[in-house]
A and B are shown apart, each in its own frame.
Chain A
Amino acid sequence: IAGITQAPTSQILAAGRRMTLRCTQDMRHNAMYWYRQDLGLGLRLIHYSNTAGTTGKGEVPDGYSVSRANTDDFPLTLASAVPSQTSVYFCASSPVVGGYGYTFGSGTRLTVV
């Protein structure tokens, strides 16, 4: 089934540890995004990539990094996790730049203790 696969589904992480959230899409979409969802704040963009080899900062990029080595994969790395990074993380992709036709993954629930 075409779509976005995120892993892990959930994770409890000790503060200060490094963690990489994985995201893979099989739709050959050019653009990919990472959002975090927090109650009362909606979804906020962390980082995005318009095409393989390029990335950009979103609204809340601090403490996070991304890479886009190929079209399909867009991992999100927390170099040194802090409790404020406790959230649900969603990866999304779209065929073209412009906000159109977003497809979201099922999310990763991350708890930093």
Chain B
Amino acid sequence: QQQVKQSPQSLIVQKGGISIINCAYENTAFDYFPWYQQFPGKGPALLIAIRPDVSEKKEGRFTISFNKSAKQFSLHIMDSQPGDSATYFCAASPPGNTGKLIFGQGTTLQVKP
């Protein structure tokens, strides 16, 4: 119930292509869904986030698509660049006064020049 399942584990995309990473969850009470980007040797950094009352959110080349009925959400990276090569984590925030985030397993993205 508290898990977030992320796929694929790794992804290779050509420069200029679209990168798509998917996440699925079980707990319908989750109320906040952020994506984090992590470069080697660094901590994760917030990339973009969405709430369940919105079906899509776009910030530059990054878009979150949210399907509440299917309990799925995905990250789309348009015009992927070599500088986007990183590990991406989806996450979900359970309700209650804890502030916890439940993270997916991570996707390592490589964008080839």
Chain A interface (Cβ within 8 Å of chain B)?
4, 31, 33, 35, 40-45, 48, 50, 56, 58-59, 90, 92, 94, 96-102, 104-107
Contacts and interface: CB of A to CB of B under 8 A. Distances in A.
Contacts of A56: 98
A40 B105 contact: yes
Interface in B86-113: 89, 91, 93, 97-106
Interface in B56-105: 89, 91, 93, 97-105
B29 interface: no
A41 B105 contact: yes
7 contacts: A42-B103, A44-B103, A98-B93, A99-B34, A100-B93, A102-B44, A106-B41
Given A40-B9, A42-B89, A100 B103 contact: no
Given A42-B89, A98-B93, A104-B43, A50 B99 contact: yes
A101 B47 CA distance: 11
Interface string B34-56: 10100001111110010000000
A106 to B, nearest CB: 5
A92 B34 CA distance: 15
B32 A42 contact: no
B6 interface: yes
A100 B43 contact: no
A104 B42 CA distance: 9
Nearest to B49: A100
Q: Which of B44, B93, B102 has the most CB of A within 10 A?
A: B44
A102 B101 contact: yes
A99 B101 contact: yes
A98 B99 contact: yes
A65 to B, nearest CB: 18
Given A42-B6, A42-B89, A107 B43 contact: yes
